[in-house]
Amino acid sequence: MTTTAGLLIRRVPAAWRRVVRIGALGALGQVFISLSGMPVRLDVREIVVPILSLGYLVVLAAPLVVGVLLGRRPEHSGFLANPPSNRDLVIGATTGGLMAGGGLSILALLLAGFDLRDPLINWSPQLLEFLSFGRGTGAGFIVWLVIGAGLGMVGGTLRLATSRTQKVIMTMALTVVAAAILESLVVDLVEGVKLEALVEWMYAPRGGVTLLGAAVLAIVSGVLSFVGQGRIKTVQARVQAMEGPKRTRVNLTLIAGVGVVMILLPLLVGKLTNELLANVGLFVLLALGLNVVVGLAGILDLGYVAFFAVGSYSTAVLTAATSPRIAPELPWFVALILVIFIAILVGLFIGAPVIRMRGDYLAIVTLGFGEIIRLLFLSDWLSGWFGGSQGITAIDGVDVFGLLTVDGTNPRRVFYLVLFFCAIAIYISWRLERSRLGRAWMAVREDEPVAEAMGINTVNVKLMAFVVGAVLGSFGGAIFVAKVGSVFPTSFLILVSIIILVVVIFGGMGNIFGVIAGAVVLIGVLGGPKQPGLLVEFSEFKLLIYGALLVWMMLARPEGLIPSARRSRELHQEEFLQDAWLRGEIDTDESNDPQTAGPTQTTDSDGGP
Amino acid sequence: MNESHPLLEMRSVNAHYGAVHALKDVDLAIYPGELVCLLGGNASGKSTTLKTLLGMLIPTSGEVLLDGEVVTERPISYRVKKGVTMVPENRRLFKRLSVKDNLELGAYLRKDTDHINADMERVFELFPRVKERLSQKAGTLSGGEQQMVAIGRALMAGPRVLLMDEPSMGLAPALVQQNFELIQQIHEAGMTVFMVEQNANMALSIADRGWVLQTGRVVLDDTAEKLLAHPDLRTSYLGGKES
């Protein structure tokens, strides 16, 4: 009895320790976000007028997340603990939220009492104003406690609802936020089809969804989500169950549908949106190229920007009249053929030494090559050829058979050009994935020594991946030059490599659709290295958010947004194993077979013919 | 024993890993249709022998002959094309690829589609279960099925001699038994098999002949029965497992 009592006593604090830990993390996160200056800067962007701005959304998220986390069943060293009672759960979540909100309360007090603006540049009266809602420090102090506790409770309680209700609520919230974030896109699109009246009630004149709009959106999306749940899955399952020509027909219809939408879309939207679409497309192209290298062949290339740079500079030199040393002024499409050859050569040249290395060493060396290429273009030594830091400017756009010119002044045409090359890249990736070479890449990625033992020339195969990646990257470069009309070494910083890699990882390595989705979400919403996304206000905090997203992704969904089934299995292998082990299905000798069930084994031993 | 000339042969091979002398004047000869085994304890040079035969390692001296042709310096791909294939230790399937992909990768170097398809059918005849699992990811198969795929993958290369690296390594006893049954089965179907093993009893129970390797030197070379009957085979030569 005493031991039971002892355990009980120990267990209560464990649960509370968890509450305090998560609550404190929430509070720290809150303070960090506030002092990064994000909320104040984002306050100008309205989400729901007049009650919620993006700035407040960012800080309010923390107590809510704390509540949701505390609502989860606790886990102790890999095992799920007994779920707390509903009352305990709500109390815990509320306390956690209270702590998270309390972080801001204390910050408000400190802001009022001290001046730490010297090291912390965002320690400003504006932040105090933001945190106290302009009603004095005391009000701010109390309000954050109340809001924190309230949101914590809401977050915690959400977990008590059925999963269906949870999904409906999530859909409603996400729809409203998405509608606000996508505002410029939606408005642009609606203007394109001449239906302005339809959304005038939805968006406030100075941006943000109106209360009425939010309510309508929430109700509509809620109803749709309630009714639609399960149906999408059924349809998916039905399509997946189809075989042969029927499946092909469905796929072809889908592809044709997407194609038609992509062709019509630019006609309906304005210049800015087309510019955005073109940027997203450019990164889709680059990410597809890197996906061949990283996703299919498993070579972690951190210097992919090198190929982008080579494609850009060689296009510039070959097409521009202003090229410093040689200026053949070739038409863009003719130049492109030469650019492909140059990319292949550079791919082989960089690949040959790099490919013999493995893992970390390879990654570091590719990182080095990425920088070397940029520094070569920047160097005085080659400035006679590439203009050094002055770059090459005044480059003409793409002349399409003398009919029209594609350049930066007409983003719609640029988008069509990008779309064309994206289609090529998608087709190449798709075909390669199913080819003999694609299989060899996957074999090398899976188990290089065994691939070698099977007679696959791993060096050649990996070089091929590098070359294909280089060619696709150089396409990106050629389009980039036509679009911006100039090249400078500063366009090819390491950051570009990293962002392309993040797009690939975020979307789902080795999956064409994942990569596209990754580019649309990251580049479209947050923006690329220099290109603004839909959330222009975020651009200052882009890297912070990229980093946070990547960390979160690695923890929660390492297989990416849209994973390939293959990838997902690998990354969750441990969990499969653990689950199977818990079910008593694995004996220790078989620990490398995730799904070996006890009974199957016995049938196996006499199952041979 | 077959009196024709050997299919795969090693003549006084020496191999080094840096300063370590891994193989010392090793002579081996594998004749067509044989099932032979190379026994040895840890660090006796078994894997090195296998690597040398397949071409993953070039010996410092001596010769490797495939069907009478000197292939000592030839790359792996050449030997695979000429009929030497390895089943790696622990199966090592490409777990996240489908069974079909695995089998097709086995035939990577071949381009004769008709023969490949015929070989695929032959694998299905040997292991009907593999056919049922064709579109499944190899990693989701049971241990026994994975073994069939591993052997099937090797057979897809159209080999004349199969090199098996430690077929009993890291397996549950029931699976070891089954694996040896599979080996016997393909041997009876006419395949020449060379296996490297630590599990002497198991290997010798199905093998025709065997060698015992100790610190890189062949110390025993005899028929399976005689080796089995050898009084201190295990205590003196195989790393004293019983002591």
Residues A90 and A182 placed together within one structural domain of the fold: no
The DSSP-derived string for A63-91 is: HHHHHHHHHSPPEETTEEPPPPPHHHHHH
B145 touches chain A (CB under 8 A): yes
B76 vs A452: CB contact, 8 Å cut-off? yes
Residues of chain A falling short of pLDDT 50: 1, 566, 586-609
Q: Which residues of B touch A602 (CB under 8 A)?
A: 174
Nearest to B179 by CA among A444, A451, A589: A589
Question: Is the separation of the CB atoms in A63 and A100 below 8 Å?
Answer: yes
**Calpha distance A504→A584 (Å, rounded):** 37
Beta-ladder partners of B38: B196, B211
Report the residue of B50, B74, B95, B180 to disrupt the A interface, i.e. the one with the largest count of A CBs within 10 Å.
B95
B127 touches chain A (CB under 8 A): yes
> How do strand A46-49 and strand A209-210 relate by DSSP bridges?
parallel
Out of A450, A457, A566, the one facing B137 most closely (by C-beta) is: A566
* A411 backbone dihedrals φ, ψ, rounded to 5°: -60, -25
The identity of residue A268, as a single letter, is L
The predicted structure's pLDDT at residue A606? 37
**Quick one: closest CA in A to B80, which residue?**
A455
**Quick one: closest CA in A to B168, which residue?**
A589
Instruction: Name A289's Cβ contacts closer than 8 Å, sequence gap at least 6.
Output: A304, A307, A425, A468, A469, A470, A471, A472, A473, A475, A476
Nearest to A395 by CA among A308, A292, A318, A448: A318
**Calpha distance B71→B77 (Å, rounded):** 11
B96 vs A455: CB contact, 8 Å cut-off? no
Q: Please give, rounded to a whole number of angstroms, the shortest distance from the CA of B232 to a CA of chain A.
A: 29
Q: What's the CA angle centered on A47, arms A41 and A51, to 5 degrees?
A: 95
The predicted structure's pLDDT at residue A109? 85
Residues A436 and A480 placed together within one structural domain of the fold: yes
Number of domains in chain A: 4
Provide the phi-psi class of A541: left if phi over 0, else alpha when psi is between -120 and 50, else beta.
Answer: alpha
The predicted structure's pLDDT at residue A596? 39
CA distance readout (Å), A174 to A47, A237, A341, A424, B59: 11, 25, 46, 34, 65
SS3 A60: helix
CA distance readout (Å), A191 to A185, A198, A430: 10, 10, 36
Instruction: Name B62's Cβ contacts closer than 8 Å, sequence gap at least 6.
Output: B10, B11, B12, B13, B14, B25, B26, B72
Residues A316 and A171 placed together within one structural domain of the fold: no
> How do strand B217-223 and strand B8-17 relate by DSSP bridges?
unpaired
List the structure tokens of B177.
Answer: 């038994």
Instruction: Name A322's Cβ contacts closer than 8 Å, sequence gap at least 6.
Output: A392, A393, A394, A395
B139 vs A594: CB contact, 8 Å cut-off? yes
A243 touches chain B (CB under 8 A): no
> Which of A160, A180, A205 is where one domain is finished?
A160
Q: Which residues of A touch B96 (CB under 8 A)?
A: 442, 446, 566-567, 569-570
Question: Is the separation of the CB atoms in A531 and A495 below 8 Å?
Answer: no
> Which of A103, A129, A160 is where one domain is finished?
A160
Q: Which string of b and e fits A174-190 if b means at least 16 CB within 10 Å?
A: ebbbbbbbbbbbbbbbb
Question: Is the separation of the CB atoms in A485 and A423 below 8 Å?
Answer: no
pLDDT by residue for chain B (243 residues), tens digit each? 445 789 999 999 999 988 889 999 999 999 999 999 999 888 888 889 999 999 998 999 999 999 989 999 999 999 999 999 999 988 889 988 889 999 999 999 988 889 899 999 999 998 899 998 888 888 888 888 898 899 999 999 999 999 999 888 877 888 888 889 889 989 998 999 999 988 888 888 899 999 999 888 998 888 888 888 887 776 666 655 443
Beta-ladder partners of B70: B65
Instruction: Name A410's Cβ contacts closer than 8 Å, sequence gap at least 6.
Output: none
**Quick one: closest CA in B to A572, which residue?**
B96
The identity of residue A504, as a single letter, is V
**CA torsion through residues A29, A31, A33, A35, sign:** negative
| ipTM, two decimals | 0.89
Q: Which residues of B touch A457 (CB under 8 A)?
A: 75, 77
Residues A132 and A187 placed together within one structural domain of the fold: no
**Calpha distance A27→A62 (Å, rounded):** 8
| Tokens 């694995």 found at | A586
**Quick one: closest CA in A to B85, which residue?**
A454
Out of B92, B109, B177, the one facing A455 most closely (by C-beta) is: B109
List the structure tokens of A336.
Answer: 């492109």
The DSSP-derived string for B220-233 is: EEEEHHHHHH-TTI
> How many residues in total does chain B contain?
243
Edge-to-edge strand order for the sheet containing A209-210?
A: A52-53, A46-49, A209-210
Nearest to A51 by CA among A135, A133, A161: A133
The predicted structure's pLDDT at residue B2? 47
Helix A542-556 / helix A494-507 crossing angle, nearest 10 deg: 40
The DSSP-derived string for B169-211 is: TT--HHHHHHHHHHHHHHHHTT-EEEEEES-HHHHHHH-SEEE
Question: Is the separation of the CB atoms in A529 and A578 below 8 Å?
Answer: no
Instruction: Name A516's Cβ contacts closer than 8 Å, sequence gap at least 6.
Output: A284, A287, A288, A426, A507
Residues A293 and A368 placed together within one structural domain of the fold: yes
Specify if A547 maps to a domain: no
CA distance readout (Å), A301 to A430, A474, A581: 20, 15, 36
A442 vs B172: CB contact, 8 Å cut-off? no
Q: Which residues of B touch A452 (CB under 8 A)?
A: 56, 76
- Structural domain of A175: 167-233
**Quick one: closest CA in B to A606, which residue?**
B178
Q: What's the CA angle centered on A21, arms A19 and A22, to 5 degrees?
A: 70
**Calpha distance A414→A482 (Å, rounded):** 8
CA dihedral A176, A182, A184, A190 (to 10 degrees): -80
* B193 backbone dihedrals φ, ψ, rounded to 5°: -125, 135
Specify if A531 maps to a domain: no
B95 touches chain A (CB under 8 A): yes
List the structure tokens of A202.
Answer: 């939805």
Tell the burial category of B15 from Cβ atoms under 10 Å away from its Cβ (0-12, 13-18, 19+). Answer: buried
A609 vs B139: CB contact, 8 Å cut-off? no
Residues A392 and A443 placed together within one structural domain of the fold: yes
Report the residue of A441, A450, A592 to disrupt the B interface, i.e. the one with the largest count of B CBs within 10 Å.
A450
Other CB atoms within a 10 A radius of the CB of residue A520 amount to: 18
Residues A187 and A226 placed together within one structural domain of the fold: yes
The predicted structure's pLDDT at residue A587? 44
**Quick one: closest CA in A to B159, which residue?**
A454
Report the residue of B81, B94, B98, B125 to disrupt the A interface, i.e. the one with the largest count of A CBs within 10 Å.
B94
Listed in order, strand segments (DSSP E) in chain B are 8-17, 20-30, 35-40, 61-66, 69-70, 84-87, 161-165, 192-197, 209-214, 217-223
Task: Please identify among residues 176-215 of chain B the ones whose CB lies closer than 8 Å to any CB of chain A.
Answer: 177-178, 181-182, 185
A567 touches chain B (CB under 8 A): yes
Residues A304 and A448 placed together within one structural domain of the fold: yes
The predicted structure's pLDDT at residue A337? 95
> Which of A204, A233, A262 is where one domain is finished?
A233
Specify if A498 maps to a domain: no
A447 vs B137: CB contact, 8 Å cut-off? no
Q: Please give, rounded to a whole number of angstroms, the shortest distance from the CA of B155 to a CA of chain A.
A: 11
**Calpha distance A441→A421 (Å, rounded):** 23
Report the residue of B142, B171, B176 to disrupt the A interface, i.e. the one with the largest count of A CBs within 10 Å.
B142
Residues A154 and A175 placed together within one structural domain of the fold: no
**Calpha distance A485→A480 (Å, rounded):** 8
Out of B81, B148, B173, the one facing A455 most closely (by C-beta) is: B81
CATH architecture label of B1-83+193-243? 3-Layer(aba) Sandwich (3.40)
**Calpha distance A247→A256 (Å, rounded):** 14
Out of A457, A587, A605, the one facing B144 most closely (by C-beta) is: A605
Q: Which residues of A touch B56 (CB under 8 A)?
A: 452-453
What is chain B's Cα-based Rg?
18
Residues A62 and A136 placed together within one structural domain of the fold: yes
The predicted structure's pLDDT at residue A377? 93
Distance of CA A98 to the CA centre of its chain: 31
Distance of CA B157 to the CA centre of its chain: 14
Edge-to-edge strand order for the sheet containing B35-40?
A: B84-87, B161-165, B192-197, B35-40, B209-214, B217-223
A570 vs B77: CB contact, 8 Å cut-off? no
A605 vs B174: CB contact, 8 Å cut-off? yes
CA distance readout (Å), A468 to A294, A348, A461: 12, 10, 11
A601 touches chain B (CB under 8 A): yes
Residues A182 and A90 placed together within one structural domain of the fold: no
Size of interface A-B (CB pairs under 8 A): 128
Specify if A305 maps to a domain: yes
A244 touches chain B (CB under 8 A): no
A455 vs B142: CB contact, 8 Å cut-off? no
B139 touches chain A (CB under 8 A): yes
Cis omega before residue A125 (within 30°)?
no
**Calpha distance B165→B11 (Å, rounded):** 21
Q: Which residues of A touch B104 (CB under 8 A)?
A: 439
List the structure tokens of B7.
Answer: 């299919």
A590 vs B172: CB contact, 8 Å cut-off? yes
List the structure tokens of A37.
Answer: 């200056």
The predicted structure's pLDDT at residue A535? 81
Q: Please give, rounded to a whole number of angstroms, the shortest distance from the CA of A505 to a CA of chain B.
A: 18
Residues A332 and A459 placed together within one structural domain of the fold: yes
